[in-house]
Amino acid sequence: MTEQIAPSLDEIDTMARAAIAALPAPYRDAAGKVALRVEDFAPDYILEEMGIEDAFELSGLYDGIPLTEKSVMDVPHGPDTIWLFRRAILDEWIDRGDVDLPALVAHVMVHELAHHFGWSDDDIAAIDRWWE
């Protein structure tokens, strides 16, 4: 039996950035301006704010004000940020067993970008066809 090592935080980050690079041109540049953080698990304060008890239930999070809701009058609270949580993503990947890890990371990334851009389900489906 071959021992496998789980992908690192940096490897998940690389997969997420590849997903951004693969976006259609109108979104690619804007998506590249959103900060990206990859951590093993969501910090306790995020889990508490969201009422989530099991950190494995949260694979990604958009933290910011969606572009469809931004105003020049907004006081910035920090950069718009997408968080990816490696251990939850890996757990989902193993449970599914039928999808490539880079495809799953891209799916989570696109889902979080959808919050940033204010995309509808149809918009997401046009960009993220990972289930095919």
pLDDT given at position 26: 82
Helix (H, G, I), strand (E, B) or coil at 35: strand
Q: What is the CATH number of the domain that holds 20?
A: 3.30.2010.20
pLDDT given at position 9: 96
pLDDT given at position 2: 57
Contact partners, residue 49, CB within 8 Å, separation at least 6: none
Question: Domain of 17?
Answer: 9-63+78-123
Run of H or E residues at 103: helix 101-117
- Compute the C-alpha angle 125/129/132, nearest 5°: 130
The confidence band for 131, taking pLDDT boundaries of 50, 70 and 90, is very low
Task: Note the pLDDT tens digit of each residue in 6-52.
Answer: 899 999 999 999 999 998 888 898 898 899 999 999 999 999 999 99
**Structural domain contains residue 53:** yes
CA distances from 64 to 35, 75, 95, 116, 132 (A): 10, 12, 30, 7, 30
Q: Can you tell me the mean pLDDT for 62-74?
A: 78
**Structural domain contains residue 106:** yes
- The pTM (predicted TM-score) of the whole model is 0.87
**Structural domain contains residue 19:** yes
Helix (H, G, I), strand (E, B) or coil at 57: helix
- Compute the C-alpha angle 89/42/9, nearest 5°: 55
Helix (H, G, I), strand (E, B) or coil at 23: coil
**Structural domain contains residue 128:** no
Number of domains in the chain: 1
**Structural domain contains residue 15:** yes
Task: Note the pLDDT tens digit of each residue in 24-37.
Answer: 888 898 898 899 99
Run of H or E residues at 39: strand 35-39
Give first-to-last CA distance, the chain, whole Å.
31
**Structural domain contains residue 82:** yes
The confidence band for 76, taking pLDDT boundaries of 50, 70 and 90, is low
pLDDT given at position 132: 47
Taking 60 as the threshold, does the pLDDT of residue 130 lie above it?
no
Q: Which residue has the higher pLDDT, 78 or 62?
A: 62
